Amino acid sequence: MADQAAVAGLTAQWADMVLAEEEGGFVPQLADGQNGEAVGEDEPLWGVVGRFLTRKLVKLEFMSQVMASVWQPVSGVQASEIQPGVFLFVFHHITDVKRVLEEGPWSYDNSTFVCKQVPENVLPVNVKLDTVDMWVQIHELPMGYTSELIQEQIGNYLGVFVKRDDRFQNMPWRTFYRVRVSLSVDRPLKRRMKFIKRDKTSCWVYFKYERLHTYCYFCEMLGHSYKFCRGARDSVMPVEEYLYGPDLRARGSRGPRPVGGSWLLPLPTAVRGSGSGEGKNGPAQRGVGSGREVEGETGVVAVAKRRREGLEGEDVGYEVEGSDVVMADRSKNLQQAGTGSQARPTQ
């Protein structure tokens, strides 16, 4: 027993000595003219740390290729994974950092990228990634309540106000107003706000979010869809009755506008068909690959079209015209261009 007590006393003494030595601090010795930086660190660098709001595995080799092609940094960027799911991007030009921080939010595989610039003398792993900056449109704001102060208050109602869009500040009236807000990724989105006027009457002000990626129509949270939401799974409410939907996204007009549509006349049936007709007034032969209906003098004839896989993996199309079957080979490259048909990196 005495030996055990002696050993315990020595252990406690040794622990106190080690603790006192640790708390004493370490003062590095620098030579004259040195500042402690490693060799080659004279070039200014800017770091951006971020993560993606998704539960899927994000592979660095694929993600970095996609993000670099989107950002197109003039001086290049270096990407690394500093923690599971946390990535560090090192830029060599200040304008590249401003583009990433001010023109977001960005996404990969439709997952929002939550990022922050690494402050000076702060480790990237210690940067909190709990907010994302986003432009929010304020719709149906009543006249007489469109001042900068009110827009800032609405921004703070949504999250933390960052700035307002002052490009059209001299216009007397606008369809909507834009404010940039720092939104918490741990709180649900807001779709509207009850606006109380000076005379105590009220109206609804609606919000639309620009560059809004995957979010849940049921719980209004970023980072997942209602198909993978536990609350939506447990609920008996049908999807059509969810309070949220795709209309929360701010969408712009896409594609060319039919500016000359009122002057254009429809082509004759024989000319509109992709095949050769029997005559000016005769029936037109349909070309392979068209699934539209042919409008003739006797009515509308629906042409059936099917596709089947060939033995060599090629698409073979055929049409049924009466009792005859017209076969034609279809090239594998004849696919409609667009974002839906472009390849994505496999995750």
Per-residue confidence in pLDDT tens, the chain, 347 aa: 666 777 677 677 766 665 566 665 667 676 666 555 554 555 789 999 999 999 999 999 999 999 999 999 999 999 999 999 999 999 999 999 999 999 999 999 999 999 999 999 899 999 999 999 999 999 999 988 989 999 999 999 999 999 999 887 777 678 899 999 999 999 999 999 999 999 999 999 999 999 999 999 998 899 999 889 988 888 888 888 888 888 888 876 455 566 666 677 777 765 444 444 444 444 444 433 333 343 434 333 333 444 444 434 444 444 444 444 444 444 444 444 444 444 445 44
Q: How far is CA 322 from the centre of its chain?
A: 49
Element of type H or E holding 288 = none
Residue 171: CA count within 13 A, CB half-sphere: 9
What pLDDT, on the 0 to 100 scale, is given for residue 209?
95
Those residues with Cβ within 8 angstroms of residue 159's Cβ, 6 or more apart along the chain or in another chain: 131, 181, 182, 183, 184
Which pair of structure tokens corresponds to residue 309?
Answer: 């896989």
243-252 per-position pLDDT tens digit:
888 888 887 6
What pLDDT, on the 0 to 100 scale, is given for residue 264?
72
Which pair of structure tokens corresponds to residue 322?
Answer: 């009466």
Characterise 313 by phi-psi region: left (phi > 0), alpha (psi -120 to 50), beta (else): left
Q: Which amino acid is at 191?
A: R
Asked whether 204 and 192 are in contact (CB, 8 A), the reply is: yes
What pLDDT, on the 0 to 100 scale, is given for residue 302?
38
What pLDDT, on the 0 to 100 scale, is given for residue 35?
57
Q: DSSP letters along 234-266, please?
A: H----GGG-S--GGGB-----S---TTTTTPPP
What pLDDT, on the 0 to 100 scale, is given for residue 3?
67
263-299 per-position pLDDT tens digit:
777 777 654 444 444 444 444 444 333 333 434 343 3
Its pTM stands at 0.63
Report the alpha-carbon distance of residue 229 to residue 235 in Å, rounded. Answer: 10
76-106 per-position pLDDT tens digit:
999 999 999 999 999 999 999 999 999 999 9
DSSP 119: P
